[in-house]
Amino acid sequence: MLENLKEEVCAANLDLVAKGVVIYTWGNVSGISDDRNYVVIKPSGVDYARMEPGDMVVVDLESGEIVEGHYKPSSDTPTHLELYRSFSDIGGVTHTHSSYAVAFAQAGRAIPALGTTHADYFYGEVPCTRALSAKEVAEGYEINTGRVIVETFTARDHVAVPGAVVRGHGPFTWGKDAAESVYHAVVLEEDAKMAMATLALNPNAALEPYVLDKHYMRKHGENAYYGQDL
């Protein structure tokens, strides 16, 4: 079942390796079916080098039960499911342990919007979640990771800022499909790298709000004009 989605999700996972944001078996990508009943996700602990579309695992969105697959799904599956349940307009989710984004997560800091590269994709800072409580870690760690991300976006637009860093853990990004969620993960890592270098040179660096507005809106606004009309 969902053979096309399995191919898309497998390709998206392999793209993480191609783009250099994961090593070993770190990270995972998922995608959701058109009817939003099932999620296809990378299997847990399987080496990317030998991963094929048939290795992807299909789980039920509501129950989290395995519907199809010969492997266990990613241990982060409950986090992905919580994001799909809460953000009903997203079609793909990516999690990595990319170095610079993780550094911000470990520092408990948001990734600030300091330049136009960031502004092209994220309309403001990429937030860092609060720390999970000891109880939240002990009881339902992965689903509570999803919940703390959702909580962080209570007063934020998850479409305009398609990602977050989980304190002490790392980044999660999302998009209209699996491929776009990976794209956002790669951009987020580059933004984090540039932000860290910028803050090292000038701890008081900031981007003018009107520049942020201009760059985000020319790509994503109602009157966007970046790119070609196809």
Looking at residue 26, the DSSP 8-state letter turns out to be: -
Out of 100, 120, 123, 213, which one is annotated catalytic?
120
Active site residue 183: no
Other CB atoms within a 10 A radius of the CB of residue 88 amount to 8
Out of 60, 157, 213, 226, which one is annotated catalytic?
226
Strand partners, 93: 30, 174
Contact present, 109 and 167 (Cβ < 8 Å): no
* H/E stretch holding 86: helix 77-86
For CA atoms 62, 31, 13, 7, give the dihedral sign.
Answer: positive
Active site residue 123: no
The residues annotated with a catalytic role in the active site are 120, 226
